[in-house]
Amino acid sequence: FMRDATRGGVWGIVREIFENAPCGAVLDEEALPVTPEAGAVAKLLGMDPGFAACEGCFAAVVSAEAADACVAALRKLPLCRSAAVIGEAAGEAIFYSRLPF
């Protein structure tokens, strides 16, 4: 599954995927690639950068076995050097997160 993060940001995508899923998600906020500039603007505006629209960015859900290979392949592309694993599916119909959902 892949989706562009233009509306709702990356955390919005994760929320949509898992709010009605038979499993939950464990997310690592620190792993979300945010440039210092974007982080500063988000802080200035009182926003969580994970919910900010990310034009040209996407989130993908892949198997745990394929995650590292997918990130490695993406990082070979000039515009995807900040690709990262930001969480994993886990549990049964429980949404785990430090995020305010």
Q: Residue 69: what pLDDT?
A: 94
CA–CA dist 33, 82 (Å, integer):
6
Structure token pair of residue 86: 């930001």
Please report, in tens digits, the pLDDT of each residue of the chain (101 residues total). 888 888 888 888 888 888 888 888 888 888 999 989 988 998 999 999 988 888 888 888 899 899 999 999 999 999 889 999 998 888 764 444 444 43
- The pTM assigned to this predicted structure is 0.79
Q: Is the dihedral of CA 54, 58, 64, 65 positive or negative?
A: negative
Q: Residue 101: what pLDDT?
A: 39
CA–CA dist 61, 22 (Å, integer):
15
